């Protein structure tokens, strides 16, 4: 049985810890169940929650546990519709998909050692979102909708933005797009072209990992940036799949 939840406590029995769970529960903490554009569901089989999912507008994040009913989930999506579905490859639906690698880290590094030789650096944990948006240079992302969502999450402590500045200029940026309990999802890591391979990106990522008590997850393209993250203590832990 798949049911829409109207009370966040209906997820209390969900004990799985993974990147999908962090995304779903951070969104639930941000918006609750009162908004029509953010909805949440659970699949129950024999009294056990076997899957939970969120729909933000038409984009789905799906977290699975042992014993989930794939066919029931497929029927659900056929009836309710979907834009994208982000999930573990264990869920299968007849649609085109992209895949990449999930990495995670609980490593906390000595920033004094990492920052040795970097003159005049500072980390801003509350940057102006317009400056951050312009630096990241989002493609096909409307500023207003992005700003409304990220600022709402920041106010509810389920997201956080960071920039590393040199002489007052942004050289590296990143966002924790989902924070739940002690874990978080790291996105939008970018270093300006003229500042790459100088240690700034690694310093900021390590700073953020130190700022989070638990585990930090990332989703990366299969062929990109593996050595950058492994050098910072991240490990490959699985595959993400996005159906479109």
Q: Do 225 and 125 share a structural domain?
A: yes
Boundaries of domain holding 48: 2-95
Q: Do 118 and 60 share a structural domain?
A: no
Q: Which of 80, 95, 110 is the last residue of a domain?
A: 95
CA–CA separation, 239 and 102 (whole Å): 5
170 in a structural domain: yes
Q: Do 133 and 81 share a structural domain?
A: no
54 in a structural domain: yes
What's the rounded mean pLDDT across residues 116-140?
A: 91
CATH number where 118 lies: 3.40.630.30
Q: Which of 65, 95, 125 is the last residue of a domain?
A: 95
CA–CA separation, 52 and 64 (whole Å): 7
- Residue 202 pLDDT greater than 90, yes or no: yes
223 in a structural domain: yes
- Residue 218 pLDDT greater than 90, yes or no: yes
Q: Which of 35, 62, 95 is the last residue of a domain?
A: 95
90 in a structural domain: yes
What's the rounded mean pLDDT across residues 195-218?
A: 96
pLDDT for 182: 95
Q: Do 18 and 125 share a structural domain?
A: no
242 in a structural domain: no
Report the domain count for the chain.
2
- Residue 87 pLDDT greater than 90, yes or no: yes
pLDDT digits (tens, 9 = 90+) for 22-70: 999 999 999 999 999 999 999 999 999 999 999 999 999 999 999 999 9
Q: Do 32 and 114 share a structural domain?
A: no
Q: Do 128 and 31 share a structural domain?
A: no
Q: Do 119 and 40 share a structural domain?
A: no
Q: Do 7 and 80 share a structural domain?
A: yes
Considering the chain, what percentage of its residues have pLDDT values greater than 70? 100
Q: Do 168 and 66 share a structural domain?
A: no
243 in a structural domain: no
What's the rounded mean pLDDT across residues 119-145?
A: 92
244 in a structural domain: no
Q: Do 174 and 106 share a structural domain?
A: yes
Q: Do 188 and 73 share a structural domain?
A: no
Contacts of residue 112, Cβ cutoff 8 Å, sequence gap at least 6: none
187 in a structural domain: yes
Q: Do 70 and 176 share a structural domain?
A: no
pLDDT for 141: 86
**CA separation, residue 183 to residues 2, 22, 64, 110, 125 (Å):** 27, 7, 18, 20, 17
Considering the chain, what percentage of its residues have pLDDT values greater than 90? 93
CA–CA separation, 202 and 232 (whole Å): 7
Q: What is the strand order of the sheet 216-221 is part of?
A: 2-4, 38-45, 48-56, 59-64, 84-87, 235-243, 97-105, 216-221, 183-191, 169-180, 160-166, 121-124
């Amino acid at each position: 049985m798949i049911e829409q939840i109207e009370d966040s406590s209906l997820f209390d029995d969900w004990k799985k810890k993974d990147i999908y769970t962090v995304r779903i529960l951070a969104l639930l903490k941000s918006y609750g169940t009162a908004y029509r554009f953010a909805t949440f569901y659970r699949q129950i089989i024999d009294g056990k929650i076997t899957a939970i999912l969120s729909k933000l507008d038409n984009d789905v994040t799906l977290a699975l546990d042992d014993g989930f009913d794939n066919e029931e989930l497929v029927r659900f999506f056929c009836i309710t519709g979907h834009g994208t579905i982000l999930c573990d490859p264990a869920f299968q639906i007849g649609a085109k998909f992209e895949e990449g690698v999930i990495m995670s880290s609980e490593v906390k590094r000595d920033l004094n050692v990492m920052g040795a030789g970097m003159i005049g650096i500072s980390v801003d944990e509350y940057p102006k979102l317009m400056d951050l948006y312009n630096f990241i240079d989002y493609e096909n992302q409307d500023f207003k909708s992005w700003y409304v969502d990220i600022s709402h999450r920041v106010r509810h402590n389920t997201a956080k933005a960071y920039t590393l500045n040199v002489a007052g200029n942004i050289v590296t940026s990143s966002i924790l797009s989902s924070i739940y309990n002690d874990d978080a999802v790291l996105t939008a890591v970018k270093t300006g072209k003229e500042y790459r391979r100088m240690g700034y990106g690694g310093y900021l990522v390590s700073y953020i990992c130190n700022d989070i008590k638990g585990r930090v997850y990332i989703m990366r393209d299969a062929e990109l940036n593996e050595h950058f993250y492994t050098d910072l203590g991240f490990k490959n832990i699985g595959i993400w799949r996005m159906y479109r």
